[in-house]
Amino acid sequence: MKFLNFIIKYRLLLGGILLIAAIGVNIETSFWPSFILYLIAVVFIVGHFLFGPMRLIQGYMESGDMEGAEKVIRSIWFPNLLIKPVRSVYFTIKGNLAMVKQDYVSAETHMKKSLSLGSPMKEAEGANHLQLGMLSMQKGNIKEAEKYIRQAIRSGLPDKENEAAAWLQLSSIMINKREFRAAKEYFRKVKKLKPTTPQIVDQIKQMEKYITRMPG
């Protein structure tokens, strides 16, 4: 695993070194003895630009090292050269990093770019829709927020915490629209999922004070 990460991290540099070596062997002997060096060099260099260091970014994101993830993201000079599924992941990660920095305008732009490219996983698409729904909530655009959150639920979400967050936001929207029966139904779905994220747990406690008094 560490060896693979090393190759991914230094793929472009290694490709350049191998290319120089291949040219040297070619000059000293002939093309065929240098062929394998040319081949590996091209695979490394092309692989760097088509696939990028996404595996490295995933490791940083999972460990919560956002600075490390951002450093790797900045090393991708030409994101438009990435193949379509990888480019979608690239913009998703850019959106998540912007969310962490509370740069909501950039986050929305990157999430929409990711969705326009199509996600390689339906759960990732659902997570993007959920993020866009929450951004719309912050902007006070309730109609747009509801649309995105319903799309997130339809697409599927990666875990019960995200699913609970989606139903909780939808319940809040229904309260805002004074559709109390739907609000209660969605709130029951949240509690059934038994989320453990402190922020969601706190929101459940706060909402529970009011939802039991509602008609419907």
Q: What is the pLDDT of residues 92-119, one digit of tens each?
A: 999 989 988 889 999 999 999 999 998 7
Percentage of the chain exceeding pLDDT 90:
74
Residue 110 lies in a domain: no
Weakly modelled stretches of the chain, pLDDT under 70: 1, 120, 216
The answer to whether residue 164 is domain-embedded is: no
What was the pLDDT predicted at 120?
Answer: 67
CB atoms within 10 A of CB 47: 15
200 within a domain of the structure (yes/no): no
Is residue 158 within 8 A of residue 142, CB to CB? The reply is no
Structural domains of the chain, count: 1
DSSP 8-state symbol, 80:
G
138 in a structural domain? no
Can you give the residue range of the structural domain that contains 14?
1-51
Q: Does any domain span residue 79?
A: no
pLDDT at residue 216, as a whole number: 64
With a CB cutoff of 8 Å and minimum separation 6, the contacts of 133 are: 144, 145, 146, 147, 148, 149, 151, 152, 166, 169
- Is residue 2 one of the residues assigned to a domain? yes
